[in-house]
Amino acid sequence: MRILTGLQPSGELTLGNYIGAIKQMVKYQDEYESFIFVADLHAITVSQDPKELRNNIKSLIAIYLASGIDKDKNTIFIQSENIYHANMSWLLECLTPYGELGRMTQFKDKSLKHQNFGAGLLTYPVLMASDILLYDADFVPTGIDQKQHVELARNIAERVNKKYGDIFKIPEPLIPKDGAKICDLVDPTKKMSKSTENPKGVIYMLDKENVIRKKIMGATTDSEMEIRYDPETKPGISNLINIYASLSGLTIPEVIEKFKGQNYGTFKGEVADLVIKTLIPIQERYQEIINSHELDKILDEGRDKTLEIAKKKYLDLRNRMGLGR
Ligand code: ATP
Ligand code: LTN
């Protein structure tokens, strides 16, 4: 069985990305044939500074590897280095009803947030469908926010198969049951997100030890004294419990039992210790990898392998549609 997923190089990765996406991929790499890529073509659907974008792409790959994504168990590549993603996307765009794209919730959100955006923001999910369908992925690990896009990919695949014959495998989203949504430390009713303006609420994977501690100790909590899990009335404490549970492997009741009777300050200190213990070794490996030639070798191999697979699929649809000679 094959899985495929991508992350956008749209900013520095957060603890939310680590817990919600990267850690899951590390787990899946032993169960599936796994493809991971940097979705740089998706990142330019909103404005990007070229220098920053290039740094973010490289940094993202180094963070994957430093976090335990094994180069021998995964095919790792950069989306724009494989021309068939954009080529396939054009064919599929012409086979996707315009109205279906306007209904995507991410488009509705982002089109309100950004001004003067390009047409690519609307066609974004078709490019994502191409990413998935080019490789006959069985499963697509993502957060719940991307489920609608995977469903669109399924619809596109079914429609194309009906019209042109069996070309595409129908993919399924793989959304972790135990994958907690990590929230912003300042406003715990909001998702911790790399594009948030206030960095105090966000733990970046490359934050220094003292910065991590300061952010967690300053996390918004409630005026009670009890460590109890209730995301509705105690979103701040519940978020810290989620972080502790995700990183320690304990269940939520086990975390509550462990810290029963302790005050918020002690608990926050323990959460900070665990986050630091998790991120510092990743940061150390990151520094070694980012300055090595290993990265280029891995990416060259990933590019060459995926070009071969994607080319076949692209040409198959192109020919069936009657394009070219
Ligand atoms: P942006 O701010 O650019 O929208 P983001 O940080 O919200 O970015 P995405 O790039 O959209 O994250 O998400 C990449 C992956 O990380 C997705 O699978 C998503 O579900 C997961 N993820 C992102 N933020 C969190 C979070 N706070 N908690 C759990 N998972 C998350
Ligand atoms: N849209 C996704 C990133 C992404 C992706 C994909 C994920 C692009 N192409 C293919 C899975 C499969 C995001 O913003 N998280």
121/258 same-domain check: no
168/255 same-domain check: no
Residue 45 is predicted with a pLDDT of 93
119/231 same-domain check: no
What are the residue numbers of the active site? 110, 191, 194
* Residues contacting 294, CB < 8 A, separation 6+: 65, 71
**Number of the ligand closest to the Cα of 183:** 1
Strand order in the sheet with 172-174: 74-78, 33-38, 2-7, 139-141, 172-174
Question: Would you place residue 143 in the very low, low, confident or very high pLDDT band (cuts 50, 70, 90)?
Answer: confident
Does residue 22 sit within a domain?
Answer: yes
- Is the Cα torsion angle 240, 244, 247, 249 positive or negative in sign? negative
134/245 same-domain check: no
For the chain, the domain total comes to 2
CATH of the domain at 26: 3.40.50.620
Residue 178 is predicted with a pLDDT of 65
Mean pLDDT of 202-217: 98
Q: Which of 2, 3, 4, 8 to mutate to test the pocket of ligand 2 (most atoms within 8 A of CB)?
A: 8
92/210 same-domain check: no
Ligand 2 atom closest to the CA of 124, numbered from 1: 1
Domain hosting 116: range is: 2-175+293-320
d(CA 174, CA 176): 6
Is the CB of residue 42 below 6 angstroms from any atom belonging to ligand 2? yes
261/127 same-domain check: no
80/205 same-domain check: no
Residue 181 pLDDT > 70? yes
Does residue 187 sit within a domain?
Answer: no
Mean pLDDT of 18-36: 94
Does residue 192 sit within a domain?
Answer: no
Mean pLDDT of 259-270: 96
Residue 114 is predicted with a pLDDT of 85
Is the CB of residue 89 below 6 angstroms from any atom belonging to ligand 2? no
Residue 291 is predicted with a pLDDT of 86
Ligand 1 atom closest to the CA of 20, numbered from 1: 30
Does residue 193 sit within a domain?
Answer: no
Mean pLDDT of 232-255: 96
213/155 same-domain check: no
Mean pLDDT of 24-45: 96
Ligand 2 atom closest to the CA of 127, numbered from 1: 9
The structure tokens listed for 17 are 């990305």
d(CA 271, CA 244): 6
Mean pLDDT of 239-252: 95
Where in the chain does DSSP place strands (E)?
A: 2-7, 33-38, 74-78, 139-141, 172-174
Can you tell me whether residue 97 is helix, strand or coil? coil
85 neighbors 100 (Cβ within 8 angstroms): no
Residue 196 pLDDT > 90? no
Residue closest by Cα to atom 16 of ligand 1: 17
Ligand 1 atom closest to the CA of 142, numbered from 1: 18
d(CA 136, CA 4): 9
Mean pLDDT of 36-55: 96
140/247 same-domain check: no
Report CA-CA distances (Å) from 206 to 15, 76, 195: 10, 21, 15
Residue 177 is predicted with a pLDDT of 74
Q: Which of 149, 154, 172, 175 to mutate to test the pocket of ligand 2 (most atoms within 8 A of CB)?
A: 149
Cα of 195 from ligand 1 centre, angstroms: 10
Task: Give 76's DSSP letter.
Answer: E
Residue 74 pLDDT > 70? yes
Residue closest by Cα to atom 20 of ligand 1: 143
What DSSP string runs through 112-178? HHSSS--THHHHHHHHHHHHHHTTT-SEEE--GGGHHHHHHHHHHHHHHHHHH-S-----EEE--TT
d(CA 28, CA 69): 10
Question: Would you place residue 53 in the very low, low, confident or very high pLDDT band (cuts 50, 70, 90)?
Answer: very high
Burial of 43 (0-12, 13-18, 19+ CB in 10 A): buried
Q: Which residue has the higher pLDDT, 98 or 176?
A: 98
121/135 same-domain check: yes
Does residue 88 sit within a domain?
Answer: yes
Does residue 189 sit within a domain?
Answer: no
Does residue 244 sit within a domain?
Answer: yes
CATH of the domain at 208: 1.10.240.10
111/36 same-domain check: yes
Cα of 5 from ligand 2 centre, angstroms: 6
Q: Which of 114, 193, 246 to mutate to test the pocket of ligand 1 (most atoms within 8 A of CB)?
A: 193
Mean pLDDT of 297-310: 98
pLDDT tens, position by position, 123-142: 999 999 999 999 999 999 99
Burial of 26 (0-12, 13-18, 19+ CB in 10 A): middle
pLDDT tens, position by position, 159-170: 999 999 999 999
Residue 201 pLDDT > 80? yes
Residue 144 is predicted with a pLDDT of 82
43/163 same-domain check: yes
Residue 179 is predicted with a pLDDT of 66
Does residue 310 sit within a domain?
Answer: yes
Residue closest by Cα to atom 19 of ligand 1: 143
Query: Of 5, 125, 151, 126, nearest to 64 (Cα)?
Result: 5
Cα of 39 from ligand 2 centre, angstroms: 7
Can you tell me whether residue 260 is helix, strand or coil? coil
